[in-house]
Amino acid sequence: MSPPRKAGGKKKTGRSTKKTTRKRPAKKSPARRGSSGKRSVAARPKRSLFGRLVRLCLLFMGLGLGLLVPWLLWLNHLVTSEFEGRKWDLPSRVYARPLELYEGLAMSPLALERELESAGYRKVASADREGTWSGSGGNYIVFRRGFRFEDGHQEALKFRLGLDGGRVSRLASPAGGGGLGLVRLDPAEIASIYPLHEEDRTLVSLDQVPDLLVTGLQAVEDRNFKHHHGVDPRGIARALWANVRARATVQGGSTLTQQLVKNYYLSNERSLPRKLNEALMALLLEWHYDKAEILEAYLNEVFLGQQGNHAIHGFGRASQHYFGQPLDQLETHQVALLVGMVKGASLYHPRRNPERALARRNQVLSSFAETGLLSEQKARVARDRPLDVTPGAAATGNRYPAFIDLVRDQLQRDYRESDLRSEGLRIFTTLSPAEQVAAEVAVRKGMQDLAARGLPNELQAALVLADVDSGEVRAVVGDRDPTARGFNRALNARRQVGSVIKPLVYLTALEHPERFNWLSRIEDEPISLRQADGTRWSPSNYDNRSHGEVSLLEALMRSYNQATVRLGMTVGLGEFTGKLQQLGVDRDIPGVPATLLGAVELTPLEVTQVYQSLAAGGFSVPLRAVVAVQTPSGETLKRYPLRLRPLERRDALAVLNYGLTRVVTGGTASALPGLLGSEATIAGKTGTTNERRDSWFVGYTRDRLGVAWVGLDDNRPAGVTGSNAAMQVWAGLFRALPLNPVSLDMPEGAHWLWVDPEQQALSAEDCPDAIMMPFVEGSEPTTRTRCLARRDDDDSSFWSRFFDRD
């Protein structure tokens, strides 16, 4: 220990002179004693009593000045500098999107219960505390917690909620109160980004701590806290006596101050010097700071359990961790449990050792009653309560690892890793817990079904779900085991996309209304193209047949390769690759014909980005997982607001959307309505790559866009096709979601017409074989069916008759 030695060195000269003066007589005396013991004994006091005392004093002064004082100074420095400059590294908290409830919102009881569970709400008999709910069968009472949102603090609120027919049918104040327009729940905390030392903590100030916890803690751990100066000799004596009686260590004599010192400054070893240091530092701490400061530090520092590899420190975090409630909402029996855990957080862990925890809690409740903090009656009632901790799963951190990867990716552009780990940031994300759970279930179930059908057991999967208009990502699964950490296929697996790319070929064609509409004819015949390396490329169709002359619409619906390549080459490869870039694909796209059939490697997330623009009618938004980042005190550091980028030619995009709904009603995805059990208008596209290595399905309703991928990690042929694998997983997810039909309203520049598809001619509603179809302005058929022509003639003859009569 260098500082004391240095300080001691300063006094060295003085001390050595004193030593020499003392040495001389000391050396002499043994000799004398040897010659005549008795005399010397009698003579010694007489000769040097005063001198000895002086020498002794000087010795101690020297030792004191030389060792103790510098040592105390050092300890003092340690205590004050650490305590005053104390700044705990706080983990960042990651929140899901808050659930907005209003009448008419599509919501099943299962989805509501998943939302409540993930937000740490406890089901109770009667919801009379924040963070609890009661009810079933469509009628619920929920006691919402207070929460500080970006647009202001929101008070706690108890409300009544009715669900009926898959919708919120009633939203009102409890017990006959008035209706409520909008109720926003506090968001689920879905993850924490921990400091490197893995300490988990939520700071509380003394006034946030319930009185019973403050007084009860003293009653159990340090009854004399208010009066002692850091160490409590009476407490030590009492503990010693108790230990002697029990012939074992049953009681510790450490004050709260000593415990804090131990937690705060010292290692865990048990030795006398350490005990002395602890006592000295406790005295110093009390000397410098008042009881309130010490107590507050203690309440935030005390170790209260281990969760995986992070340690829970302080009562604020412990309350959330074990009960899913803020500290000031805890009931008596819950406070007692936490107080009891101070003695041994793992020994009395309520989830791992519930019986011991219960016994300890009841013991604590008895001490509360003994010390008059609680009436015996109340203590008895509290002793009869269960532990009331939340199930472990709800409280474990990072339940949605694949989504959190995306959050980190987005934040890495603006924040350093170290800040995320220490500044206690509040990160507001777009995750929808109910939809994330549904996505995970869909992947698990889908993979089981595929295995049952004889597909390889090691098939992998990825699933992304996004809100169509805002680009907010609602769910991400990156592994067949959704809880697995590691390679996240949704974000990082670059795979050939196959036919999923084809719609863009048709889009570029529809952007030339003078040349193409859905009824235009194209040859689905063998085609051979020279590639850059001189070899020839001759794509074949999935069924190894050519289909002759087909319409653009049929070619898309049935995903014909030869027709698509011919169309793409007619319109121009450059337009196609340009379109990909316009839709947000950042990579270099090789300008070779094979890209028309999806010889482009993209991640599921990138595919989601491309289709977001299509699904949103040509208003592109960057996909987002984070909407805002705040400091712990609620100051907004960064917002990621909704930013739209309108694409050109939204008329053609809208017309393309119609084609994608036809893929579902009569094309390669025609099994989908059966899988979903719904005829709602949905747009979709299957994708299969060479030798069935990858299976893709992209589909969207009016408000949700989902991208599913299934394949093998090593890119071997997997026997999968778009419709036999990925579409099954996709359907598994969307079965659990409200299916709002895709809007096919046309924007300016496109409109619906009655046509006869065979004749490629304008027709009318009451004519045979007439269907309605959207056209980009300028692409409308110019001929009329005979039926329409006859009717028009009739009309004109009617008018001529009308005018003739006039």
Partner 1 sequence: MTVTDFRPVSCLLLLTLLLAACAGQSPAPIEERELEQRVRTPAREDAAGVQVYPLKNPAVAELTDQAERAEASGDLDQAAMLLERAMRIQPRDPELLQSMAEVQLQRGQYQQALSFATRSHDIGPRVGELCARNWRTMSLAHERLGDGRAASDAVDRAEQCMVTRPQGL
Contacts with partner 1 by CB under 8 A lie at 100, 102-104, 150-151, 181-182, 467-470, 472, 617-619, 639, 641-646, 650, 702-703, 743, 745-748, 750-752
- Tell me the two tokens of residue 126: 């009667």
499 is annotated as an active-site residue: yes
Across-strand partners of 147? 154
CA 710 remoteness from chain centre: 24
Instruction: Closer to partner 1 by CB, 537 or 752: give it.
Output: 752
Cβ burial 290-318 (10 Å sphere, 16+ → b, else e): eeeebbbbbbbbbbbbebeebbbbbbbbb
Instruction: Closer to partner 1 by CB, 422 or 779: give it.
Output: 779
CB 565 within 8 A of CB 506: no
Beta carbon of residue 142, minimum distance to partner 1 (angstroms, whole number): 16
Instruction: Closer to partner 1 by CB, 161 or 420: give it.
Output: 161
CA 569 remoteness from chain centre: 45
From the candidates 470, 499, 723, 779, give the one annotated as an active-site residue: 499
**Residues whose CB falls within 8 Å of the CB of residue 322, separated by 6 or more in sequence, listed in order:** 305, 334, 337, 338, 350, 351, 389, 390, 395
How far is the C-alpha of 265 from the C-alpha of 278, rounded, in Å? 9
One-letter amino acid identity for 768?
Answer: P
Instruction: Closer to partner 1 by CB, 514 or 748: give it.
Output: 748
Phi/psi of residue 147, nearest 5 degrees: -155, 145
Beta carbon of residue 181, minimum distance to partner 1 (angstroms, whole number): 4
Q: 496, 558, 407: which is closest to 694 by C-alpha?
A: 496
From the candidates 115, 130, 199, 221, give the one annotated as an active-site residue: 221
435 is annotated as an active-site residue: no
- Tell me the two tokens of residue 455: 């597909």
Instruction: Closer to partner 1 by CB, 280 or 468: give it.
Output: 468
How far is the C-alpha of 566 from the C-alpha of 554, rounded, in Å? 14
User: What is the gyration radius of the CA atoms in the chain, in angstroms?
Assistant: 38
Q: How many residues does the chain have?
A: 806
Beta carbon of residue 474, minimum distance to partner 1 (angstroms, whole number): 11
Instruction: Closer to partner 1 by CB, 661 or 689: give it.
Output: 661
Instruction: Closer to partner 1 by CB, 507 or 655: give it.
Output: 655
Beta carbon of residue 303, minimum distance to partner 1 (angstroms, whole number): 39
One-letter amino acid identity for 380?
Answer: R
Instruction: Closer to partner 1 by CB, 233 or 747: give it.
Output: 747
Instruction: Closer to partner 1 by CB, 519 or 773: give it.
Output: 773
One-letter amino acid identity for 78?
Answer: L
Instruction: Closer to partner 1 by CB, 758 or 777: give it.
Output: 777
CA 598 remoteness from chain centre: 33
Beta carbon of residue 699, minimum distance to partner 1 (angstroms, whole number): 18
How many CB atoms are located within 10 Å of the residue 541 CB? Answer: 17
Beta carbon of residue 752, minimum distance to partner 1 (angstroms, whole number): 6
Q: 348, 269, 336: which is closest to 303 by C-alpha?
A: 348
Q: What is the dihedral of CA 622, 623, 629, 634, to 10 degrees?
A: 100
How far is the C-alpha of 161 from the C-alpha of 98, rounded, in Å? 16
How far is the C-alpha of 179 from the C-alpha of 183, rounded, in Å? 11
Pairing of strands 199-201, 189-193: unpaired
Instruction: Closer to partner 1 by CB, 419 or 469: give it.
Output: 469
CB 718 within 8 A of CB 480: no
Q: 115, 167, 92, 163: which is closest to 628 by C-alpha?
A: 92
Query: 380 in helix, strand or coil?
Result: helix
Beta carbon of residue 471, minimum distance to partner 1 (angstroms, whole number): 11
One-letter amino acid identity for 678?
Answer: S
Beta carbon of residue 170, minimum distance to partner 1 (angstroms, whole number): 13
How far is the C-alpha of 317 from the C-alpha of 302, rounded, in Å? 11
**Residues whose CB falls within 8 Å of the CB of residue 130, separated by 6 or more in sequence, listed in order:** 143, 144, 145, 146, 156, 325, 326, 329
Phi/psi of residue 588, nearest 5 degrees: -70, 125
DSSP, residue by residue, 445-505: HHHHHHHHTT--TT-EEEEEEEETTT-BEEEEE-SSSTT--S--HHHH--EE-GGGGHHHH
- Tell me the two tokens of residue 264: 């705060």
Instruction: Closer to partner 1 by CB, 197 or 639: give it.
Output: 639
Pairing of strands 92-95, 199-201: unpaired
Beta carbon of residue 593, minimum distance to partner 1 (angstroms, whole number): 34
CA 67 remoteness from chain centre: 54
Instruction: Closer to partner 1 by CB, 651 or 694: give it.
Output: 651
Q: 464, 471, 474, 476: which is closest to 642 by C-alpha?
A: 471
Q: 545, 628, 651, 543: which is closest to 148 by C-alpha?
A: 628
Pairing of strands 426-429, 92-95: parallel
How far is the C-alpha of 741 from the C-alpha of 413, rounded, in Å? 36
How far is the C-alpha of 106 from the C-alpha of 739, rounded, in Å? 10
Query: 632 in helix, strand or coil?
Result: coil
How far is the C-alpha of 476 from the C-alpha of 406, rounded, in Å? 8
Catalytically annotated residues: 221, 499
